[in-house]
Protein backbone atom coordinates (compact mmCIF):
# COMPACT_ATOMS: atom_id res chain seq x y z
CA UNK A 1 0.00 0.00 0.00
CA UNK A 2 1.32 3.41 -0.94
CA UNK A 3 2.44 5.59 1.96
CA UNK A 4 0.47 8.50 0.57
CA UNK A 5 -2.62 6.33 0.13
CA UNK A 6 -2.43 5.27 3.76
CA UNK A 7 -2.23 8.93 4.75
CA UNK A 8 -5.26 9.81 2.64
CA UNK A 9 -7.18 6.91 4.13
CA UNK A 10 -6.77 8.11 7.70
CA UNK A 11 -7.92 11.67 7.00
CA UNK A 12 -11.12 10.66 5.17
CA UNK A 13 -14.57 10.73 6.79
CA UNK A 14 -15.69 7.47 8.42
CA UNK A 15 -18.92 7.15 6.42
CA UNK A 16 -19.17 4.03 4.25
CA UNK A 17 -19.01 5.85 0.88
CA UNK A 18 -15.57 7.16 1.87
CA UNK A 19 -14.12 3.81 2.89
CA UNK A 20 -11.08 2.52 1.04
CA UNK A 21 -11.24 -0.88 2.79
CA UNK A 22 -14.06 -3.46 3.08
CA UNK A 23 -16.70 -3.18 5.80
CA UNK A 24 -15.41 -5.26 8.79
CA UNK A 25 -16.88 -8.76 8.90
CA UNK A 26 -17.59 -10.56 12.18
CA UNK A 27 -16.50 -13.83 13.59
CA UNK A 28 -17.64 -15.91 16.54
CA UNK A 29 -15.27 -16.98 19.25
CA UNK A 30 -16.58 -20.06 21.07
CA UNK A 31 -15.26 -19.93 24.59
CA UNK A 32 -16.42 -23.49 25.29
CA UNK A 33 -13.94 -24.85 22.72
CA UNK A 34 -10.77 -23.28 24.13
CA UNK A 35 -10.88 -20.22 22.01
CA UNK A 36 -11.17 -21.92 18.60
CA UNK A 37 -12.57 -19.62 15.96
CA UNK A 38 -15.78 -20.35 14.09
CA UNK A 39 -17.51 -18.26 11.49
CA UNK A 40 -21.22 -17.61 11.42
CA UNK A 41 -23.15 -20.66 10.17
CA UNK A 42 -20.58 -23.21 11.32
CA UNK A 43 -22.51 -26.44 12.17
CA UNK A 44 -20.39 -27.02 15.26
CA UNK A 45 -21.82 -23.92 16.91
CA UNK A 46 -24.54 -25.16 19.25
CA UNK A 47 -27.24 -23.30 21.07
CA UNK A 48 -26.25 -22.28 24.51
CA UNK A 49 -22.61 -21.78 23.60
CA UNK A 50 -21.04 -18.68 25.03
CA UNK A 51 -20.04 -16.46 22.11
CA UNK A 52 -19.08 -12.89 21.42
CA UNK A 53 -18.56 -10.91 18.24
CA UNK A 54 -15.17 -9.69 17.14
CA UNK A 55 -14.53 -7.53 14.03
CA UNK A 56 -12.07 -8.90 11.50
CA UNK A 57 -9.21 -6.44 10.95
CA UNK A 58 -9.23 -6.38 7.18
CA UNK A 59 -7.04 -3.46 6.03
CA UNK A 60 -6.84 -4.43 2.41
CA UNK A 61 -7.43 -1.65 -0.10
CA UNK A 62 -10.33 -2.38 -2.45
CA UNK A 63 -8.84 -1.69 -5.89
CA UNK A 64 -12.07 -1.37 -7.88
CA UNK A 65 -13.66 1.45 -5.90
CA UNK A 66 -13.81 4.73 -7.77
CA UNK A 67 -12.62 6.53 -4.66
CA UNK A 68 -9.60 4.22 -4.46
CA UNK A 69 -8.79 4.92 -8.08
CA UNK A 70 -9.01 8.65 -7.42
CA UNK A 71 -6.58 8.56 -4.54
CA UNK A 72 -4.27 6.19 -6.36
CA UNK A 73 -4.08 8.83 -9.08
CA UNK A 74 -3.42 11.53 -6.50
CA UNK A 75 -0.45 9.57 -5.18
CA UNK A 76 1.39 9.65 -8.52
CA UNK A 77 2.57 13.23 -8.16
CA UNK A 78 3.84 12.89 -4.55
CA UNK A 79 5.56 9.67 -5.60
CA UNK A 80 7.36 11.52 -8.36
CA UNK A 81 8.44 14.15 -5.86
CA UNK A 82 9.68 11.45 -3.50
CA UNK A 83 11.61 9.70 -6.27
CA UNK A 84 13.16 13.00 -7.34
CA UNK A 85 14.40 13.80 -3.85
CA UNK A 86 15.67 10.24 -3.45
CA UNK A 87 17.61 10.77 -6.67
CA UNK A 88 19.33 13.87 -5.27
CA UNK A 89 21.17 11.65 -2.80
CA UNK A 90 22.50 9.54 -5.67
CA UNK A 91 23.83 12.67 -7.40
CA UNK A 92 26.63 12.98 -4.84
CA UNK A 93 28.22 9.76 -6.09
CA UNK A 94 30.10 9.74 -9.43
CA UNK A 95 28.85 6.23 -10.26
CA UNK A 96 25.15 7.12 -9.93
CA UNK A 97 24.85 10.84 -10.63
CA UNK A 98 22.57 11.93 -13.45
CA UNK A 99 24.26 15.34 -13.63
CA UNK A 100 27.59 14.38 -15.21
CA UNK A 101 27.88 17.57 -17.26
CA UNK A 102 27.28 19.79 -14.22
CA UNK A 103 29.95 17.97 -12.19
CA UNK A 104 32.39 18.32 -15.12
CA UNK A 105 31.67 22.04 -15.14
CA UNK A 106 32.14 22.19 -11.35
CA UNK A 107 35.60 20.59 -11.58
CA UNK A 108 36.52 22.30 -14.88
CA UNK A 109 36.80 18.93 -16.64
CA UNK A 110 36.87 18.97 -20.43
CA UNK A 111 34.32 16.38 -21.45
CA UNK A 112 35.46 13.54 -23.72
CA UNK A 113 35.19 9.77 -23.93
CA UNK A 114 32.44 7.38 -22.92
CA UNK A 115 30.05 7.94 -20.03
CA UNK A 116 32.07 5.56 -17.83
CA UNK A 117 35.30 7.41 -18.64
CA UNK A 118 33.63 10.70 -17.70
CA UNK A 119 32.43 9.19 -14.40
CA UNK A 120 35.94 7.87 -13.66
CA UNK A 121 37.44 11.33 -14.16
CA UNK A 122 34.92 12.93 -11.83
CA UNK A 123 35.65 10.29 -9.20
CA UNK A 124 39.41 10.75 -9.53
CA UNK A 125 39.28 14.52 -9.09
CA UNK A 126 36.63 14.24 -6.37
CA UNK A 127 38.87 12.17 -4.12
CA UNK A 128 42.11 14.07 -4.86
CA UNK A 129 43.07 15.58 -1.51
CA UNK A 130 46.43 17.09 -2.44
CA UNK A 131 50.03 15.97 -2.53
CA UNK A 132 53.19 16.03 -4.64
CA UNK A 133 54.42 12.45 -4.43
CA UNK A 134 54.81 10.61 -7.72
CA UNK A 135 52.58 7.76 -6.56
CA UNK A 136 49.82 10.21 -5.70
CA UNK A 137 50.12 12.03 -9.04
CA UNK A 138 50.18 8.76 -10.97
CA UNK A 139 47.07 7.54 -9.15
CA UNK A 140 45.22 10.71 -10.18
CA UNK A 141 46.15 10.20 -13.83
CA UNK A 142 45.26 6.52 -13.90
CA UNK A 143 42.07 6.92 -11.87
CA UNK A 144 40.99 9.51 -14.46
CA UNK A 145 41.07 6.78 -17.09
CA UNK A 146 44.63 7.14 -18.44
CA UNK A 147 45.65 3.73 -17.18
CA UNK A 148 48.57 3.25 -19.60
CA UNK A 149 50.37 6.41 -18.50
CA UNK A 150 53.19 6.37 -15.94
CA UNK A 151 55.40 9.00 -14.28
CA UNK A 152 59.19 8.80 -14.28
CA UNK A 153 61.81 10.61 -12.22
CA UNK A 154 64.42 13.04 -13.55
CA UNK A 155 67.24 10.67 -12.63
CA UNK A 156 68.42 7.20 -13.68
CA UNK A 157 69.64 4.68 -11.14
CA UNK A 158 73.06 3.43 -12.20
CA UNK A 159 73.44 1.03 -9.28
CA UNK A 160 75.55 1.09 -6.17
CA UNK A 161 73.64 4.06 -4.80
CA UNK A 162 74.63 6.24 -7.77
CA UNK A 163 72.43 8.01 -10.27
CA UNK A 164 72.74 10.22 -13.32
CA UNK A 165 70.55 13.12 -14.39
CA UNK A 166 68.43 12.53 -17.49
CA UNK A 167 69.25 14.91 -20.33
CA UNK A 168 65.95 16.29 -21.75
CA UNK A 169 67.69 16.91 -25.08
CA UNK A 170 67.73 13.13 -25.54
CA UNK A 171 63.95 12.79 -25.26
CA UNK A 172 62.15 16.08 -25.98
CA UNK A 173 61.41 17.72 -29.34
CA UNK A 174 61.54 21.46 -28.65
CA UNK A 175 62.10 24.76 -30.46
CA UNK A 176 65.85 24.59 -29.75
CA UNK A 177 66.08 20.81 -30.10
CA UNK A 178 64.45 19.37 -33.24
CA UNK A 179 64.02 15.69 -32.45
CA UNK A 180 61.67 13.83 -34.81
CA UNK A 181 59.62 11.33 -32.85
CA UNK A 182 60.63 12.93 -29.57
CA UNK A 183 58.35 13.91 -26.72
CA UNK A 184 56.59 17.21 -26.18
CA UNK A 185 57.53 19.94 -23.73
CA UNK A 186 54.63 20.93 -21.48
CA UNK A 187 55.28 23.95 -19.29
CA UNK A 188 52.25 26.20 -19.34
CA UNK A 189 49.56 26.43 -21.99
CA UNK A 190 48.33 29.81 -20.83
CA UNK A 191 50.81 32.57 -21.83
CA UNK A 192 50.47 34.11 -25.27
CA UNK A 193 52.16 36.92 -27.18
CA UNK A 194 49.92 39.55 -28.80
CA UNK A 195 51.06 40.39 -32.32
CA UNK A 196 49.35 43.37 -34.01
CA UNK A 197 48.02 43.07 -37.56
CA UNK A 198 47.75 45.98 -39.99
CA UNK A 199 45.96 46.78 -43.21
CA UNK A 200 48.58 48.30 -45.53
CA UNK A 201 47.94 50.49 -48.58
CA UNK A 202 50.58 51.42 -51.16
CA UNK A 203 50.76 54.93 -52.58
CA UNK A 204 47.89 56.15 -50.44
CA UNK A 205 46.82 59.59 -51.76
CA UNK A 206 46.54 61.00 -48.26
CA UNK A 207 50.07 59.99 -47.27
CA UNK A 208 52.05 62.84 -45.72
CA UNK A 209 55.47 61.23 -46.05
CA UNK A 210 56.26 62.82 -49.40
CA UNK A 211 57.55 59.56 -50.84
CA UNK A 212 55.78 57.69 -53.63
CA UNK A 213 56.84 54.41 -51.97
CA UNK A 214 55.44 55.24 -48.54
CA UNK A 215 52.85 52.91 -46.99
CA UNK A 216 49.80 53.98 -45.06
CA UNK A 217 48.33 51.43 -42.60
CA UNK A 218 45.67 51.07 -39.96
CA UNK A 219 45.53 48.66 -37.02
CA UNK A 220 43.16 45.74 -37.63
CA UNK A 221 43.61 43.78 -34.42
CA UNK A 222 45.87 41.33 -32.62
CA UNK A 223 46.81 37.71 -33.13
CA UNK A 224 47.59 35.82 -29.91
CA UNK A 225 50.42 33.36 -30.37
CA UNK A 226 51.22 30.76 -27.66
CA UNK A 227 54.63 31.08 -26.08
CA UNK A 228 57.05 28.40 -27.28
CA UNK A 229 59.40 27.28 -24.54
CA UNK A 230 62.94 26.08 -25.16
CA UNK A 231 64.83 23.42 -23.26
CA UNK A 232 67.19 24.79 -20.63
CA UNK A 233 70.84 24.19 -21.47
CA UNK A 234 72.04 24.42 -17.87
CA UNK A 235 72.26 20.88 -16.40
CA UNK A 236 71.40 22.33 -13.00
CA UNK A 237 67.86 22.91 -14.33
CA UNK A 238 67.32 19.33 -15.53
CA UNK A 239 66.31 17.95 -12.10
CA UNK A 240 63.18 20.09 -12.42
CA UNK A 241 61.94 17.83 -15.21
CA UNK A 242 59.42 15.08 -14.73
CA UNK A 243 58.57 12.63 -17.50
CA UNK A 244 55.17 11.19 -18.33
CA UNK A 245 54.95 8.29 -20.74
CA UNK A 246 54.82 4.52 -21.07
CA UNK A 247 55.41 2.03 -18.29
CA UNK A 248 59.09 1.61 -19.20
CA UNK A 249 61.15 4.76 -19.70
CA UNK A 250 61.58 6.20 -22.34
CA UNK A 251 58.78 4.35 -24.14
CA UNK A 252 55.86 6.46 -25.31
CA UNK A 253 52.25 5.98 -24.25
CA UNK A 254 49.44 6.33 -26.79
CA UNK A 255 46.36 8.47 -26.14
CA UNK A 256 43.41 9.59 -28.20
CA UNK A 257 43.77 13.03 -29.76
CA UNK A 258 40.31 13.83 -28.34
CA UNK A 259 41.71 13.40 -24.82
CA UNK A 260 44.79 15.60 -25.29
CA UNK A 261 43.33 18.83 -23.91
CA UNK A 262 41.83 17.20 -20.81
CA UNK A 263 44.94 15.09 -20.17
CA UNK A 264 47.29 18.08 -20.31
CA UNK A 265 44.91 20.18 -18.23
CA UNK A 266 44.97 17.43 -15.59
CA UNK A 267 48.77 17.44 -15.51
CA UNK A 268 49.04 21.22 -15.23
CA UNK A 269 46.41 21.28 -12.50
CA UNK A 270 47.96 18.72 -10.15
CA UNK A 271 51.68 18.67 -10.90
CA UNK A 272 53.92 21.02 -8.87
CA UNK A 273 54.41 24.41 -10.54
CA UNK A 274 58.20 24.16 -10.52
CA UNK A 275 58.20 21.03 -12.67
CA UNK A 276 58.69 21.02 -16.42
CA UNK A 277 56.88 18.09 -17.95
CA UNK A 278 58.36 15.96 -20.68
CA UNK A 279 55.42 14.33 -22.46
CA UNK A 280 56.43 11.00 -23.95
CA UNK A 281 52.96 10.70 -25.45
CA UNK A 282 51.76 9.92 -28.96
CA UNK A 283 48.34 11.38 -29.72
CA UNK A 284 46.45 9.49 -32.43
- Percent of the chain whose pLDDT exceeds 90: 23
Is 109 found in the same domain as 167? no
Listed residues 107, 127, 147: the one ending a domain: 127
Our count of domains for the chain comes to 4
27 and 66 both lie in a single domain: yes
> Residues 36, 73: one domain?
yes
Q: Which residues contact 202 (CB under 8 A, 6 or more apart)?
A: 213, 215
Query: Which residue did the predictor score with more confidence, 56 or 201?
Result: 201
Q: Of 19-33, 52-66, 196-210, where does the model show the most confidence?
A: 196-210
User: Using an 8 Å Cβ cutoff, are 247 and 150 in contact?
Assistant: yes
250 and 213 share a domain? no
pLDDT in the model for residue 205: 53
- The whole-angstrom separation of Cα 225 and Cα 114 is 32
CB under 8 A, 24+ apart: contacts of 57-60: 57/24, 58/21, 58/22, 58/24, 58/25, 59/21, 60/21, 60/22
Same domain, 221 and 263: no
**Shared-domain flag, residues 175 and 63:** no
Q: Same domain for 78 and 114? A: no
**Do 76 and 12 belong together in one domain?**
yes
Whether 218 has a pLDDT exceeding 70, the answer reads no
Same domain? For 237 and 221 the reply is no
Q: Is the pLDDT of residue 131 over 50?
A: yes
**Residue 175: its pLDDT value, please?**
85
Same domain, 159 and 238: yes
pLDDT tens for each residue of 71-97? 667 666 667 777 777 778 888 888 888
149-193 per-position pLDDT tens digit: 999 999 998 888 899 999 999 999 988 888 988 899 998 766 666
When the pLDDT of each residue in the chain is averaged and rounded to a whole number, the result is 75
Same domain for 173 and 235:
yes
Q: Which of 177, 208, 226 is at the close of a domain?
A: 226
Containing structural domain, residue 17: 3-86
Please state whether the peptide bond connecting residue 69 to the residue before it is cis, i.e. omega within 30 degrees of 0.
no
Sheet holding 150-152, edge to edge: 150-152, 241-245, 276-279, 184-186
Phi, psi angle pair for 45, to nearest 5°: -80, 120
Same domain, 110 and 18: no
Amino acid sequence: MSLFLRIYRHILPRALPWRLVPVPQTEFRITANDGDLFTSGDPSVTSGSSVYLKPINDNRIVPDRFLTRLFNALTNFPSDVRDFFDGIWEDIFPDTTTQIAKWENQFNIISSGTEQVRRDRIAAIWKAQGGQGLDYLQDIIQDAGFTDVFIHQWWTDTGGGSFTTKDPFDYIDALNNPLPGGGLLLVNKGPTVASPTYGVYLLAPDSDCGSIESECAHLEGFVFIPVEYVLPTDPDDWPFFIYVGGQTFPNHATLSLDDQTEFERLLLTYFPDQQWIGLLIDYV
